[in-house]
Amino acid sequence: MIFASFEFLFLFLPLFFAVYFLTPFRWRNWPILILSWAFYAWWRVDFLGLLVGVTLFTFIIALRMDAADDRARTRLMVVGLVGNLGVLAYFKYANFGVASFNQAMAALGFGTVNWAEIVLPIGLSFYVLQSVSYLIDVYRRDVPVSRSFVNYAAYKAIFSQLIAGPIVRYAEIEQELKSRHHSLAQFGAGARRFMAGFAMKVIIADTLAPLVDASFALPNPTVADAWLGAIAYTFQLFFDFAGYSAMAIGLALMIGFHFPENFNWPYLSRSIQEFWQRWHMTLSRFLRDYLYISLGGNRGGAVRTYINLLLTMVIGGFWHGANWTFILWGVWHGGLLALHRGWSRAGYALHGAIALPLTLLAVILGWVVFRAHDMTQAITMYRGMFGANGVPLSDALAWQIVPEQWWIKAAAALLCALPGFGSWLPWQRDPGAIRGVWRLAWQVGPSVAFLLAIIMLYSRAAVPFLYFQF
C-alpha cells in the first residue's frame, strides 16, 4: 500500500483518522503504533517482526546505556550500532557482497558460492538510520532516553515517514510524543500539504516515468534521447521524492507532529555544497552530524577534510543501494564537494549566472549513474549524451512520447525555477496588492490539483515511490 493508491486514500486513511481522533488523547500513541504496524504489514507481514525487533532492541540498549557508567555506555552504544547496522548490512548488502565475490572468483577461474537472493525489507534504511541517530544522541546526552516503549515505538513507526523519510530525529518530536496540539486550522494546513505532494507525485513524477524508462532502456541513445531522459529523470526524482516528503509532513501535521522539511528548491543551487543544503536535507544533516563530524570534519587540515568529504559521500551513496553505480555517484559528489571547498578557500567564486547552470549540469550528470541499473547502462547513457550515436531524437523513443509528457516537463521546469525569478514576480514587487489572490490559490489550488491527480490515478496503475527501493 502506498500513499498514491485508492486503498490508502479511501480505506486506511479514513480508518486511521476515525480511530485516532476517537481515542482519548493520553492513549493516542497506541493507534499510531498499531495502525502504523498494520500499514507496514500490508506489504509483508513477516518483515513486521524485523521492524518490531529492531525497535525493541534499540529501546532496551538505550535504556541500559542511560543507566550505565561511561565505559559500559560506550560498549552498549557499540553493541547497539553493530546490531542495527548488522541488520542493514545483511539485508541490503549481502547480495551485493556475494555477487561481487562470485564475479571475482569466476574471473580467477575458481568456483562460486551458491546463494539465494535476500529480499530487502521496505523502509529498512530509514528506520535503521533513526535507530542510529537515537542511540548516538542518547549516548551524547543530547536527548533524554525514552522510558515509554509505546512512545518510542510510535516515533519509529509513524506511517507517514516509516518507508522513505524524512529522517526524523527523536529530539525533533520528543515533546509532541507526550503532548501535541490539534486544531481544525492545523489539520487543514496538513491536508493541503498532503494534497500538494500527492499532485506532485501523480501528475508530474508518474507522467514522466514512462519517458525515463524508455530513454534509459535504449541500446544506442542519441544526444536528444539521452538528454531528454536525463532531464526527465531529474524532474521525476525531485517531484517523486519531494512529493512523498510533502505528503509525509502533511499527514504528520494533521495529527499534531511537525516534521523537518526535506527539500528547499535544490535545483536553484549555485554550488554543489548549496545543493546538499537543499536536497534531502534530513539525510544531509545526518551525514554531517553523525558521519562527517565523527570522521574529523574539517579539523585535520585541508587534505584530511577532502578525504572526509569524499568518504562521507561515498558512504552516503552506498547507503542508497548495493550497487557500484551508487558508489560512483558518491565519489562524483564527494569529489565535487572537495573541489568546491578548495576553489572557495582559494578565494575564487563564479557569477550566479554561470554557477547555477553549472551546478545543475553536474547534478544531472550525477543522476544518470544514480538511475542506471548498472555501469553498462550508465556508460551507454553517457555515450549518448556526448554524441556517440548521433544527435536527433530517434524513432525508437519518439513514438513512445505522448504530448502530455512535454507539457508536464515544461510545468516541472517552471515550478522548479519559479522562486528564482525573485523581484521579477509581481507579488514580490507589491505583495499587498496580490496577497489575497495567492492566499486563495493556496487554499483552492491543492484541492483542484488533488482532484485532477485522483482522476489520473484512476486511469492508470499506481506507481511505487522511487525511494522505496533504497
Tens digits of per-residue pLDDT, 208-226?
A: 999 999 999 999 999 999 9
Let me know if residue 453 belongs to a domain: yes
Q: From residue 6, give the alpha-carbon distance in Å to each of 20, 92, 143.
A: 20, 30, 39
Would 284 be classed as within a structural domain?
no
Which of 115, 149, 180 marks a domain boundary? 180
Name the residue range of residue 423's domain: 187-270+350-469
Report if residue 313 sits inside a domain.
no
Q: How far apart are CA 370 and CA 367, in angstroms?
A: 5
Compute the radius of gyration of the chain from its Cα atoms. 23
- Residue 285 domain-assigned? no
Same domain, 44 and 68: yes
Of 280, 320, 333, 340, the active-site residue reads: 320
The reply to whether omega before 166 is within 30° of 0 (cis) is yes
Q: In this structure, are 264 and 400 located in the same domain?
A: yes
Measured over the CA atoms of residue 415, residue 251, residue 186 and residue 276, the dihedral's sign is: negative
What 3-state DSSP class applies to 184? helix
Count Cβ atoms within 10 A of the Cβ of residue 359 and give its class: 0-12 exposed, 13-18 middle, 19 or more buried.
buried
Q: How far is CA 310 from the centre of its chain?
A: 20
> Cα separation of 391 and 432, whole Å?
49
- Asked if residue 205 and residue 166 are part of one domain, the reply reads no
Given 180, 210, 235, the domain boundary residue is 180
pLDDT of 425: 58
Report pLDDT for 424: 57
Query: Where are the alpha helices (H) located in 255-323, listed in sequence order?
Result: 272-278, 281-286, 293-295, 302-320
pLDDT of residue 461: 72
Q: How many domains does the chain have?
A: 2
Whether 9 maps to a domain, the answer reads no
Q: Are 193 and 161 members of one domain?
A: no
The answer on 225 and 202 residing in a single domain is yes
Please report the pLDDT score of residue 353 as a whole number.
Answer: 84
Give the residue from 180, 215, 235 where a domain finishes. 180
In which residue ranges of the chain is pLDDT below 50? none
Is there a catalytic annotation at residue 373?
Answer: no
Do 358 and 216 lie in a common domain?
yes
- Are 211 and 235 within one domain? yes
In a domain, 294, yes or no: no
Do 201 and 86 fall into the same domain? Answer: no
- Does residue 218 lie in a domain region? yes
Please check whether residue 301 lies inside any domain of the structure. Answer: no
220 and 147, same domain (yes or no): no
pLDDT at position 162: 85
147 shares its domain with 257:
no
Whether residues 215 and 172 share a domain: the answer is no
Amino acid at 202: V
Same domain for 453 and 423: yes
d(CA 78, CA 72): 10
CB 96 within 8 A of CB 102: no
